[in-house]
Structure 1
Amino acid sequence: MREAASDLRVAVVGVGAMGADHVRRLADRVVGARPVLVADASAQTAERVAAAHPGVRTAPDALAALDDDDVEAVVIASTGPTHAELLLACLERGLPVLCEKPMTTDAESALAVVRAEAAVVARTGQRLVQVGFMRRYDAGYLALRELVVTGELGAPLLLHCAHRNASVPPYFTSEAVVLDSLVHEVDGARFLLGEEVTAVTVMRPRRRRSAPEGLADPLLALLETESGALVDVEVSAATGLGYEVRTELVAERGTALVGTETGPLVARAETAVRGRRVPAGFLDRFAAAYDAEVQAWVHAARRGTATGPSTWDGYAATAVTTAGVEALRTGRRVEVELADSP
């Protein structure tokens, strides 16, 4: 992509698989922005990613990247536990930021981010944070949302969701599956149904024999909503088959399913085929959604603001997964308590 003098100059913090993909996206596919700086806990990783993109430099650490005079906006793609500190630092510096999910990994720190941004909005009138719930930009999810909004199928009764990863990093725990994977379905339910989740139960089916040691795989979550609609979510961390995400809406006058593309599909472990190629990973499955998400963020950030999923969306989803971790530990249904919106 040819650089323009008005391009938004972006730092990407955390350049593992997700962050490196965002760097490529900003360099090659998004209009109106370009990456200028990367930072990562691994200096070697940062140097490798920067070397692949002429004009991109490395910063010694994340805060140094935020303080660089050439940086006008930030993408946070580092691990979840680092997000709260980085988001607060971006807000303090007045930097528009796209933060990958989860916004933070506990409800208390998420609420602190909501309140910090509310103070910025009160002072400037501008939001600065967009949370990376990219499914809100996926064509299938947008179509399901439209069916709910128009009432074409009547009132929603159930959502059936499946979120299946081929594998997870060795450091992933059962709690991380709730905080880092289930959070997508939580926000998806809030987006599709237009209401909050009020309670969560997390159950442990019979454990997959091939699951990594100490990992409860799969998990089954039941989300209750304000209207009484229910959402069941199968989260499989290590199927070995590929990456699959499906959501089926069951409403009063019909059903609608996204994530299969070609109709009745059968999975066999020896082939990992469901009548088509199963996407290898989330970057394949949601490539178009990521492009649309980042492009929308760039358009807003060039105006010094944010318009996508908000810090409240990030907080509400994290409040549910925080309750979900308790439900996982105790085996009990846990009610979700949300603070008052600032």
Structure 2
Amino acid sequence: MSEHDLRVGVVGAGMMGSDHAARIHQRLSGARLVAVGDPDIERAERAVDGVDGARAEADPLAVIESSDVDAVVIASPGPAHEPLLLAAVQRGIPVLCEKPLTPDPVSSLRVVQAEAARGRKLIQIGFMRRFDPEYLNLKELLDAGELGRTLLLHCAHRNPARPPGFSTEMLITDSVVHEFDTTRWLLDAEITAVSVRQQGLVASTEAGVPQIVTIETAGGVLVDVEIFVNCGFGYQVRCEAVCENGTALVGGDSGMRTHHAGRWGGGVAADFRPRFRQAFDAEFQHWVRAARSGGIDGASAWDGYAAAAACEAGVAAQRSGSRTEVTLVERPELYA
């Protein structure tokens, strides 16, 4: 550490916040953890345990407003994000905010408008797939046009078991939200409509039932997403691009394979943390470098707003069984 390190505060000391606090302390260069804020002070204290000079705060806003915090990571529950983000924008410090930006497009738009009025991009959204080596390779391949125009994307998003309290709507807002952002990023196109179908075409409130989400884009590319949060075997995220002259697949379990006792096989990640650990580390390191200059290097507040709008349409389509259009306001010049 040095006196020129970015002094980072973390808001939220749950699974994501504590993981990010450890990441800042242990694996990043040019940054140091100075504070963790959580209404559960004991959780905050556990997150800073062993970190010299870092303190726990019971008031998350106190972290953002502290003069010794240069930048902040927001990893609190989504409904708490808006006032925290507005406080950071008001103070003019860079933010890395875990998704969602906010839980709905109306409040997300208020954050976008506040940042646009400030005239600087200060908020980066934690869509870590943009930093995953495989997804970066796919993005580079599609941008180069080596396989011709992209015609379709086939995606799968699988979890071994749904956590307690995981609702049907959360299939969209907590899981497929990543595919919404990945679609926009890979294709450089806004999402125009969303449709959702369930097993047997029968409406169900059981979040463990697989669903198929169809995404339409302004560029005419169709995207299908299998969302299955009760698959039983592990965590898996896949994306196959179908182009005019070929296909490309990422997330195809290409890690180590073994041959032993008459069998061959490999492992599947237990959850998102080992699968995307490298992406999280890269995302945070890029953000630290940008934040030291007062900016961001990743998904913007506008991207967070667009994802929230797609989620709203997705949940509506889920409930109605009908194709639902995505409504966006005109993009502010700051995000052009």
Q: Which moved more, 1:310-319 or 1:43-52?
A: 43-52
Equivalent pair of 1:103/1:131 in contact (CA under 8 Å): yes
Aligned partners of 1:48 and 1:90: how far apart in 2?
Answer: 24
**Structure 1 position 274, deviation (Å):** 9.5
In the TM superposition, what whole-angstrom CA distance separates every residue of 1:50-105 from its partner, at most 9, and x where no partner exists? 11423221111211111222211100111122112211111111111000111111
Partner residue of 2:245 out of 240, 253, 257:
253
Q: Which moved more, 1:47-56 or 1:228-237?
A: 47-56
**Structure 1 position 217, deviation (Å):** 2.5
Q: Which moved more, 1:253-262 or 1:274-283?
A: 274-283
Q: Which runs of 4+ in 1 moved over 3 A?
A: none
Aligned partners of 1:168 and 1:65: how far apart in 2?
Answer: 32
- Shift of the 330–293 alpha-carbon distance from structure 1 to 2, 3 Å rule, reads same
In the TM superposition, what whole-angstrom CA distance separates every residue of 1:297-337 from its partner, at most 9, and x where no partner exists? 00011111113111111111111011111111111100111
SS at match of 2:195: strand
Aligned partners of 1:215 and 1:45: how far apart in 2?
Answer: 29
- Shift of the 252–274 alpha-carbon distance from structure 1 to 2, 3 Å rule, reads farther
Matched, 1:277 2:267: yes
Partner residue of 1:293 out of 262, 276, 283:
283
**Structure 1 position 180, deviation (Å):** 1.3
Partner residue of 2:131 out of 122, 131, 137:
137
Q: Equivalent residues in 2 for 1:106-255 (5 A)?
A: 106-121=104-119, 126-206=120-200, 214-255=206-247
Partner amino acid, structure 1, of 2:166: F
The share of aligned pairs that are identical, in percent, is: 52
Aligned partners of 1:103 and 1:191: how far apart in 2?
Answer: 16
Q: CA RMSD in A?
A: 1.9
**Structure 1 position 145, deviation (Å):** 0.9
Partner residue of 1:333 out of 287, 299, 323:
323
Partner amino acid, structure 1, of 2:156: A
SS at match of 1:286: helix
Aligned partners of 2:168 and 2:311: how far apart in 1?
Answer: 12
TM-score, with structure 2 as normaliser: 0.92
Partner amino acid, structure 2, of 1:317: A
Matched, 1:93 2:91: yes
Partner amino acid, structure 1, of 2:68: D
Partner amino acid, structure 2, of 1:338: L
In the TM superposition, what whole-angstrom CA distance separates every residue of 1:121-150 from its partner, at most 9, and x where no partner exists? 1xxxx3111111110111111111112111
Aligned partners of 2:135 and 2:69: how far apart in 1?
Answer: 33
Which segments of 5 or more consecutive residues in structure 1 lack a partner in the other structure?
Answer: 266-272
Aligned partners of 1:171 and 1:54: how far apart in 2?
Answer: 36
Partner amino acid, structure 2, of 1:234: E
Partner residue of 1:70 out of 65, 68, 71:
68
Partner amino acid, structure 2, of 1:82: A
**Structure 1 position 206, deviation (Å):** 4.8
Equivalent pair of 1:11/1:66 in contact (CA under 8 Å): yes
> What is the total number of aligned residue pairs between the two structures?
324
Aligned partners of 2:303 and 2:208: how far apart in 1?
Answer: 27
Equivalent pair of 1:161/1:246 in contact (CA under 8 Å): yes
Equivalent pair of 1:12/1:19 in contact (CA under 8 Å): yes
Equivalent pair of 2:162/2:207 in contact (CA under 8 Å): no
Which segments of 5 or more consecutive residues in structure 2 lack a partner in the other structure?
Answer: 258-262
Partner amino acid, structure 2, of 1:238: N
Aligned partners of 2:244 and 2:69: how far apart in 1?
Answer: 50
**Structure 1 position 216, deviation (Å):** 4.9
Equivalent pair of 1:204/1:216 in contact (CA under 8 Å): no
Equivalent pair of 1:154/1:253 in contact (CA under 8 Å): yes
- Shift of the 95–274 alpha-carbon distance from structure 1 to 2, 3 Å rule, reads farther
- Shift of the 59–274 alpha-carbon distance from structure 1 to 2, 3 Å rule, reads farther
Equivalent pair of 1:127/1:307 in contact (CA under 8 Å): no
Equivalent pair of 1:156/1:252 in contact (CA under 8 Å): yes
Matched, 1:313 2:307: no
Equivalent pair of 1:157/1:250 in contact (CA under 8 Å): yes
Partner amino acid, structure 2, of 1:63: L
In structure 1, what is the equivalent of residue 260 of structure 2?
A: none
**Structure 1 position 172, deviation (Å):** 1.8
Equivalent pair of 2:96/2:123 in contact (CA under 8 Å): yes
Equivalent pair of 1:219/1:235 in contact (CA under 8 Å): yes
